[in-house]
Amino acid sequence: MSTVSRSDLDFPSQGIRCAGWLYRPGSVSTDRLPAVVMAHGFTAVRDQRLTAYAEAFASAGFAVFLFDYRHFGDSEGEPRQLLDVGRQLQDWEAAIATVRDLPDVDPERVALWGTSFGGAHAQATAARDPRIAAVVAQVPFCWADKPQQPVPLIKTLRLLGRAIRDALHGLLGLRPCYIQAIGDPTDFAAMTSPGAAAGMAGLTPPDSRWRNRVAARFVFQLATYKPGRDAGGIQCPIHYTIAERDAFIRPETIRAAAALAPHSECAGYDCGHFDVYVDPWFTRVVGDELDFLQRTLQP
């Protein structure tokens, strides 16, 4: 791979500073570059293995813009750890506008890359923006489905109670009521599965800005957010990366969304949700995603 450069490029979203890293290929070109806009999933931040994807794409000749959502990571926004679907979609739109304004980027060859909950946003954004040239939706949330593992009723009621309390806190301007974001089945956490805690730890560097908590009110948005249902409105090519043993997102929901998209392709891997980010699966996954981006964005 060729060398790449990385620079800080912050941008405003609804008047709040979002933190971004801009990657450029090491080789100099007089042509405008195709670009990939990237963001992470549920409560995750850019330093949790997304730098590996960004470096791979930039080494192949793409400009890559990787950002943190408002309220998370290096971006501003109060209260912290607030997951709001509408605000995160605004952040995607602001990031795309920032990239399209770069003098060395071709604004008609901008692709989206989102993973997990970020893959949900990539679908929703592409369905609303006909200028998007291509999408990679990696292990994406498409719509709420029954959990892979049974959840005890008492745990569900406890989570609902915490969400109601946090929603009231939001209305009154009080400090959020937080819950653990990721955990194993024995944990009281928003998203749980066997090995989830270890899987997340494997993505997280020691100095990461990730915090394992989230404002509980997100629960009410999760039930109504169904970006996979809008996949029929995605007019550009879209590549779905599927972990066949995903304990968070059922592969059949991803394939159902892909069936709605008129220009979709799917790549399945016999691994779990967190395995796509690390070797041995990462090399295969990023290679297939790069092949798709080269086929759709490079002349």
Domain boundaries, the chain: 4-151+222-297
- Give pLDDT, residue 49: 97
145: confidence class by pLDDT, cuts 50, 70, 90: confident
pLDDT tens digit sequence for 85-124: 999 999 999 999 999 999 999 999 999 999 999 999 999 9
Q: Would you identify the CATH topology of the domain 4-151+222-297?
A: Rossmann fold (3.40.50)
- Give pLDDT, residue 1: 47
- Give pLDDT, residue 2: 62
- Give pLDDT, residue 34: 97
Q: Where are the beta strands (DSSP E) in 139-207?
A: 178-183, 189-192
Q: How far is CA 143 from CA 118, 213, 249, in A?
A: 13, 22, 9
189: confidence class by pLDDT, cuts 50, 70, 90: very high
Count other Cβ atoms within 10 Å, centred on residue 186: 9
> How much is the pTM?
0.95
Radius of gyration of the CA atoms of the chain, in A: 18
Averaged confidence pLDDT in the chain: 95
Region of poorest pLDDT, from 54-58, 221-225, 265-269 = 221-225
CA 137, CA 39: separation in Å to the nearest integer?
Answer: 11
223: confidence class by pLDDT, cuts 50, 70, 90: confident
Q: What is the average pLDDT across 236-255?
A: 96
